[in-house]
Amino acid sequence: MAQLYYRYSTMNAGKSLELIKVAYNYEERGKRVLVLTPSVDNRYGKNVVVSRVGAVREAVGVDEDTNILQLFMQENAKGKIDCVLIDECQFLKKHHVQELVEIVDSYETPVMAYGLKNDFKNELFEGSYYMLVYADKIEEIKTICWCGRKATMVARVVDGEFVKEGEQIVVGGNDMYVSLCRKHYNDGRLNEKKDYSE
C-alpha cells in the first residue's frame, strides 16, 4: 500500500542526497520517478536538486499555484509514475500537501517528501505543518551540532551574527544557516569559540 512519507531534519543532514539516491535506485530498476522542487529554492539554479556533496538531479519546479495532482496525472499518462519525490517540502502550501495525499490515495503511488520541520525562529513552515498532519510515516534524518549533540534547530546568521527575527523564508545555505542542538540554539552559540548571544 502506498504511503506519504515525510523525512525531515535540520540543515546539512543529507536530505537532498537521500532523495537523489532514492531516485537513482528506482530508475536503476526500470521504474519512473517524478522529482519536484519548490521554485523558490533557486540557490543552485532552477529546477534542480543539489546535494552538498555535489550530486545533482533535474526536477520539475513547483510554484505557489502549481497543481501537483494535475502535473502528476499529465506525467502518469505518458508512462506510469512509480514514485514522487519532493525536495525542500517545507516550502509547499497546504493545497500541495493535499494534492500529494490524493496521489497516494487515488493512484496508489508512494510520495516521499524531504525538508526542514522548523524555521530559524523554531516555528513550523506551512509545508512542514501539513506534512506532519497528513503524512503516513514521519522519519527524522539526524545530524549533529558542533558540540556533538543531535541538532534539532536551525540558526540564521547575518553578517556573522545569530539572528532570531526576520522573514520566515530567506533561501540560503551554509553561509546563512547553522544546525544546532536545542541548548546552543537557546544560548545563541554557533560554535565552540565565540558566543553570539544577544
Q: Say how far apart CA 15 and CA 30 lie, in whole Å.
A: 23
**88 catalytic residue (yes or no):** yes
64, 75, 88, 102: which is the annotated catalytic residue? 88
Report residue 73: phi and psi, to 5°.
Answer: -60, -40
Q: Say how far apart CA 34 and CA 55 lie, in whole Å.
A: 17
* Catalytic positions: 88
